[in-house]
Amino acid sequence: MDRQQGKRILVTGGHGFLGSHLLKALEDGGYQQVAAPSLEECDLTVENEIKRLYLEVKPQVIIHLAAVVGGIGANRENPGSFFYQNLIMGVQLMEQARLSGVEKFVALGTICAYPKFTPVPFSEQDLWNGYPEETNAPYGLAKKMLLVQAQAYRQQYDFNAIYLLPVNLYGPRDNFNPQSSHVIPALIKKCLEAKDQGAPEITVWGDGSATREFLYVQDAARGIVLASQKYDGPEPVNLGSGMEISIKDLVELIARLTGFQGKITWDTSQPNGQPRRCLNTQRAYEYFGFQAEQDFESGLRETIHWYLANRPVLKSHHKAGESHA
């Protein structure tokens, strides 16, 4: 039996995209004492609410996924609130976890923490060799402070906090709200709506030259469970698939899979974001045996299929930036 299975586990962000898949992975793994409060039940930016939550749940392991996130547009419009909310959640959650005697804290960082110009594939030792890409630097740096806090608390208090760096995620139940969605759901929605309306073209930000790596959400959930079970070290660890695709190729692939046959126009007045993103995934394999399994095109088909089946329901449910619980 896994040593974590009998523990009381608290998942923040359990009602978000990744969180919902993590809860399923924990359930499938035989974990029976898992708490995942919603934003309505606990506002993680308020210290007294965190204290109350810890008294109620008495967690032994915390997996902190909660974040206020969005694509380039949302980051440009909300740099202050993205910085403050992400920073304050992490700082307070870990401090109160230490004071409450929590045995292990699993912190989820972000690929946005890497410097704008990082040698590809991104290796964890390059994390501090420059400033992040400007459009999402406040968010990336707020999440990066979790690593500083984790290592400082390990050094001073012998607190077992680990830090994982997931690459861009995609898959069923992704966020398709155009105000806050990331590139894959935004493109799927754009292509399907253009196809439905008979529009002759779609417009995409940038020039298509930037590259991205994507990790299927169920792979990410499995990686987090493995790390919580098997990894207790101070070094940050990338969670990725090791693949790299240009935005141009991604748009053409999604257009093909959604059946959109119109023209693709590039709005070069808008930013590309970070020039390249691709992770070195060796450390995750060495430290806790994680490797991505999902084929990218099959994962995209699953995501499109889920969206087509659920989009009438989605219209009434989205509010931008409501993911911090």
Could you report the per-residue pLDDT of 32-80, keeping only the tens digit for each? 999 999 989 999 999 999 999 999 999 999 999 999 877 777 778 889 9
Counting residues of the chain whose pLDDT is more than 70, the rounded percentage is 95
DSSP per position, 235-253? S-EEE-----EEHHHHHHH
pTM equals 0.92
- Residue whose tokens read 């896994």: 2
Torsion of CA 252, 256, 261, 264, to 10 degrees: -10
CB-based contact 204:267 (threshold 8 Å): yes
- CB atoms under 10 Å from CB of 99, counted, come to 11
Domains assigned to the chain: 9-314 (3.40.50.720)
Report, as an integer, the average pLDDT of 95-108.
98
Cα end-to-end span (Å), the chain: 30
Residue 318: pLDDT above 70?
no
pLDDT band per the 50, 70, 90 thresholds, residue 12: very high
Residue 11 tokens read as: 């998942």
Catalytically annotated residues: 139
Could you report the per-residue pLDDT of 263-314, keeping only the tens digit for each? 999 999 998 888 888 999 999 999 999 999 999 999 999 999 999 999 876 5
Could you report the per-residue pLDDT of 207-264, keeping only the tens digit for each? 999 999 999 999 999 999 999 999 999 999 999 999 999 999 999 999 999 999 999 9
Q: Report the pLDDT value the prediction gives residue 319, as an integer from 0 to 100.
A: 41
